Amino acid sequence: MKNSNIHYILCILGLLVFFSCNQLSKEEQEFDTLMQKIIDVHDEVMPKMGQMSTLIKELESKIDTTSQGKNYAKAQKDLKDSYDFMMDWMSDFSTKFPYGEENTADDKEKFNTKMKMLEQEEIEVNKLRDQINSSIDQADKLLDQS
């Protein structure tokens, strides 16, 4: 066998080993998929923060002691609560899953703990999305009636 053929075969084997070692495990792929779902929900509702601030201001002028005024106050409180929920969730999430942190399955116990935390975050971010959408819808309906 020629020296160039041996060199070629060693290069191919080296590349195969390199790529097989850099493949994500099934668990890591599931983690990344779940993380992306959570980020997608965040990215869906984040642009609504400005809309929520605008609605909070619009409702302020309509709040009074009448029953309709109390409905405006409740809608405003729901928006504020949703806004605060988003801010708290983002802060909590970034503490639990700092940007750039590697989440490999090398340490099974640590990885499994992180995966369970991520599963809880999926539940939480879906609640967040629902609360934000609901509070915006309710405020819009009230303001459309006036």
Q: Mind listing the pLDDT tens digit for each residue in 63-119?
A: 999 999 999 999 999 999 999 999 999 999 999 988 877 777 678 888 899 999 999
18 pLDDT more than 90 = no
Q: Determine the average pLDDT of the residues in 9-31.
A: 64
3-class SS of residue 12:
helix
Given a contact cutoff of 8 angstroms between Cβ atoms, the answer to whether 105 and 28 are in contact is yes
DSSP 1-56: --HHHHHHHHHHHHHHHHHHHTSPPHHHHHHHHHHHHHHHHHHHHTTHHHHHHHHH
Given a contact cutoff of 8 angstroms between Cβ atoms, the answer to whether 96 and 117 are in contact is yes
Whether pTM exceeds 0.75: yes
